[in-house]
Amino acid sequence: MNIFVTGASGLVGQSLIKKLEQCNNINKVYCLYRNKPINIQSDKIIPIMGDINSLSTMKIEDNISIVIHLVGYWQKENYNMLNKINVDGTKSCIKFCKNNNINKIIYLSTINVNLMNKGNYAKTKLMAEEEIIKSDLSYIIMRPTLIYGNEDIGLSKLCKLIKKSKFIPVIGNGKALEQPIYVKEVAEYIIEAINNFHENITIPIAGKEAMEYDVMINTLASYIGKNIKIVHFPLKLIRFGAKVLEICKLPSPINNEQIAHISEDLNVDNKIPHNYYNVKLNPFIDNLSKINYIHNT
């Protein structure tokens, strides 16, 4: 079996490729990356430098069984950039599949599509899902919660703030539920999906336990060995301030989707994904021991 992975040098991509390299039923893994090269030395791993939006014209001589579409953009609220990568990039990936007679695709979306107050990231990821659903490809769409692991850009920023400050700002009452998932567990879900492909399903995937946002912060602080105080800011006031900055076209330290993510429940009933894939999930506290930035000063 040959696999094609987009976003191969990203957080999930790196973890997934290491697992694919060890799978006896995988012959070759084609790895599309844009900037960061693939560092795994193996005859199985075939790095391809390229852009997701030019993927539609690419031809592969081998027969590819499944495309794993991991490319996604989330760093800024710029709609044009989000649409170009998340939506147009997915359209390009679909064309690549059809041009190369690939019938199966696994797409990594986001739990943020369930937010009541969606930002442009969630909106474009939902639009990308819709493109895949109407593509006539056999698909699996996975919606992970907050993904954490070495080199993540979410939990690592929170840990950095905890290490630097005694006061941690939180929007709202801090009771919104998070259920972060370790990156290797995300990769394991994808491996399970490759080996047991359930056609045309959309499933959420999450870590072992849900916790209130404040509890997650206190768990991190306790693990790091730091005494902190959480300071809550009124949700309505922060939303109003973000809206004013948006109208005035001024930069904001936080966008509407980030506000929604902190203030809305994003938990998952693990019985749903486990109806399809029985991935072993470890407690949040146990996974922290595996993350470098937790231990770095």
Count of CB atoms situated within 10 Å of the CB of 62? 12
**Segment 149-197, tens digit of pLDDT:** 988 888 999 999 999 999 999 999 999 999 999 999 999 999 999 999 9
**How remote is the C-alpha of 165 from its chain's centroid?**
27
Q: What are phi and psi of 148, to 5 degrees?
A: -130, 155
**CA 136 to CA 122: how far, in whole Å?**
23
CA distance 108 to 140: 9
First vs last C-alpha separation in the chain: 43
Residue 297 is predicted with a pLDDT of 56
Cβ burial 209-248 (10 Å sphere, 16+ → b, else e): bbbebbbbbbebbebeeeebeeeeeebeebbeebeeeeee
Residue 55 — pLDDT band, cuts 50, 70, 90? very high
Percentage of the chain beyond pLDDT 90 is: 74
Q: What mean pLDDT value characterizes the chain?
A: 92
Partners of 171 in beta bridges: 233
Rounded-to-integer distance, Cα 205 and Cα 182, Å: 11
Q: Is the pLDDT of residue 251 over 80?
A: no
Catalogue all structural domains in the chain, each as residue range(s) with its CATH number: 2-295 (3.40.50.720)
